[in-house]
């Protein structure tokens, strides 16, 4: 998500190493680059200004630690500032008190509310709740139809609304029917609207007044630019939102809007959307995100995700091997299989530490078909060959190609990919698993 900013900051920090203690001057130089990197990442101009001043103040003052290199020192301060801005602790939905709960989704046009409504419904289902989807967008053509289809897909009831009824009436009536459909959480999918559209903003106020939502969640596009502050400020001013969901985070947006929105509303980011499928929603971890902005990746989040879907034993084995810095074709195969379960490679890559330094990995994007071919090739290898790729001479490669119904170029390409991945993974293992945590202790 934040790769590009990570890359930028990494370069800055490389320049800072080995220069002795921080001086006013080299802070100034580094801060100039941090500033441009943040602006490039779409963090709002005013917020960047504030942030840079804060970092400058802290860096030059008493906070300087003797045990760190200058580069680490700046990383630490920038990281702390970013973490502080993004909310320090992980915030979840607050579903306490009397049921039915009401979750109200609001935001600009096209920010991803309807898809997010479906994702939240699935997420809540997974937690043993009974969601009820409420289509309150009577304006966009086929918006109600879209939510109904998601409901069918998820087997979640959808309020039978129509575009002739006022949104506040739809929501009110849905609330009164919740009991009869056995629902304990309502998810209100409101129409996208401009924050300066007074009539439509009042409509949201009326819905709020009449349904008394447990959560009002602002759904914002992670690719939003400088205007994020105006939008967020208005929605928060009119509705006193309780949290934020960032959508479309799986792309290459630098995501500075996350900082901007958090800063102007003071409300926590609760989830991020990472794809179009209904399971593509993840909790937002501010502290990890800050490390990620700094290019230190997110080892913890990777391991967590892995634990859900990996065969645990496999994961442990893989981790052990990684620690010993061994990675053979068998591991590669397991890794590819798990990758299919885990989701897109980009998603995984984004969670690895120091990703900014591993651009090569981004290019290794086998598609589904490619994966099948790769598996076939590895399956045609002997155990010995899988454990030691170095013995794969020309005649062995020819045999493998024939056995897997591919050609020698395919085998060579796979080996090249494997060797590249091996290098990266072993490097990550060294840097990520061993060195990374020690930076701050």
243-247 and 215-221 beta bridge pairing: parallel
CA atoms within 13 A on the CB side of 169: 8
Under rule CB under 8 A, residue 198 binds other proteins:
yes
Give the separation between CA 394 and CA 149, rounded to whole angstroms.
54
Min separation Cβ 8 and other proteins, Å: 10
Judged by CB under 8 A, which of 104, 121, 138, 352 binds other proteins?
A: 138
Judged by CB under 8 A, which of 58, 149, 172, 413 binds other proteins?
A: 149
Under rule CB under 6 A, residue 149 binds ligand GTP:
no
Stretch that binds other proteins, among 40-48, 172-180, 206-214, 281-289 (CB under 8 A): 40-48
Judged by CB under 6 A, which of 194, 316, 372, 419 binds ligand GTP?
A: 194
What are the phi and psi torsion angles at 104 (to 5°)? -110, 125
CA dist 316 → 61, 102, 305 (Å): 44, 41, 13
To the nearest 10 degrees (0 to 180), the angle between helices 3-16 and 24-40 is 170
Stretch that binds other proteins, among 12-20, 71-79, 178-186, 194-202 (CB under 8 A): 194-202
Min separation Cβ 417 and other proteins, Å: 15
Min separation Cβ 120 and ligand GTP, Å: 18
Cβ proximity to other proteins, 22 vs 51, nearer residue: 51
Residue with tokens 């400058």: 56
337-344, long-range: CB within 8 Å, 24+ apart, which pairs? Answer: 337/375, 338/306, 338/309, 338/310, 338/311, 338/314, 339/371, 340/368, 340/371, 341/309, 341/310, 342/305, 342/306, 342/309, 342/310, 343/274, 343/275, 343/280, 344/250, 344/275
Under rule CB under 8 A, residue 372 binds other proteins:
no
Q: 54 by DSSP, 3-state: which?
A: helix
- Chain residue whose CB lies nearest ligand GTP: 109
Cβ proximity to ligand GTP, 78 vs 105, nearer residue: 105
Cβ proximity to other proteins, 193 vs 208, nearer residue: 193
Cβ proximity to ligand GTP, 88 vs 276, nearer residue: 276
Cβ proximity to other proteins, 60 vs 154, nearer residue: 154
Strand ranges in 79-118 using DSSP code E only, listed in sequence order = 101-106
- Which of ligand GTP, other proteins, none is residue 195 near (CB under 5 to 8 Å by kind)? other proteins
Stretch that binds other proteins, among 21-29, 193-201, 398-406, 426-434 (CB under 8 A): 193-201
Residues 293-332 that bind other proteins (CB under 8 A): none
DSSP, residue by residue, 369-426: HHHHHHHHHHHTS-HHHHH-GGG--HHHHHHHHHHTT--HHHHHHHHHHHHHHHHHHH
Under rule CB under 8 A, residue 199 binds other proteins:
yes
Q: 13 by DSSP, 3-state: which?
A: helix
Under rule CB under 8 A, residue 188 binds other proteins:
no
Enumerate binding residues for ligand GTP (CB under 6 A): 109-110, 140, 192, 194
């Amino acid at each position: 998500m934040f790769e590009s900013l990570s890359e930028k900051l990494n370069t800055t920090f490389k320049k800072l190493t080995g220069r002795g203690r921080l001086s006013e001057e080299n802070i100034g130089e580094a801060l100039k680059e941090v500033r441009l990197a943040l602006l490039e990442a779409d963090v709002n101009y005013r917020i960047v200004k504030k942030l840079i001043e804060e970092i400058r103040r802290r860096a030059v003052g008493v906070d300087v630690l003797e045990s760190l290199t200058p580069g680490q020192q700046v990383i630490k301060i920038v990281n702390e500032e970013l973490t502080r801005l993004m909310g320090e602790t992980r915030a979840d939905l607050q579903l306490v008190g009397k049921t039915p709960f009401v979750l109200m989704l609001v935001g600009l046009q096209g920010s991803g509310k309807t898809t997010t409504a479906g994702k939240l419904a699935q997420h809540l289902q997974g937690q043993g709740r009974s969601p009820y989807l409420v289509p309150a967008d009577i304006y966009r053509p086929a918006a109600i139809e879209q939510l109904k289809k998601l409901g069918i897909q998820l087997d979640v009831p959808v309020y039978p609304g129509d575009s002739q009824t006022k949104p506040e009436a739809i929501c009110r009536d849905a609330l009164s029917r919740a009991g009869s459909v056995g629902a304990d959480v309502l998810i209100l999918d409101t129409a996208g609207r401009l924050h300066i559209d007074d009539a439509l903003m009042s409509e949201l106020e009326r819905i709020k007044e009449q349904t008394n939502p447990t959560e009002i969640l602002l759904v914002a596009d992670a690719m939003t630019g400088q205007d994020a502050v105006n939008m967020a400020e208005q929605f928060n001013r009119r509705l006193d939102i309780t949290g934020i969901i960032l959508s479309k985070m799986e792309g290459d947006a630098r995501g500075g809007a996350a900082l901007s929105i958090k800063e102007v509303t003071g409300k926590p980011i609760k989830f991020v959307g990472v794809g179009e499928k209904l399971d593509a929603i993840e909790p937002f971890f501010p502290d990890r995100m800050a490390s990620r902005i700094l290019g230190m990746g997110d080892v913890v989040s990777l391991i967590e995700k892995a634990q859900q879907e990996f065969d645990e034993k496999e994961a442990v084995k893989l981790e052990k091997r990684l620690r010993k810095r061994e990675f053979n074709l068998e591991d590669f195969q397991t890794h590819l299989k798990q990758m299919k379960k885990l989701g897109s490679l980009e998603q995984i890559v984004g969670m690895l530490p120091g990703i900014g330094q591993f651009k090569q990995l981004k290019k290794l994007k086998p598609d589904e078909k490619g994966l099948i071919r790769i598996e076939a090739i590895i399956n045609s290898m002997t155990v010995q060959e899988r454990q030691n790729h170095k013995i794969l001479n020309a005649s062995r490669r020819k045999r493998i190609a024939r056995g897997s119904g591919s050609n020698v170029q395919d085998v060579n390409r796979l080996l090249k990919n494997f060797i590249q991945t091996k290098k990266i993974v072993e490097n990550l293992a060294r840097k990520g698993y061993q060195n990374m945590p020690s930076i701050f202790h």
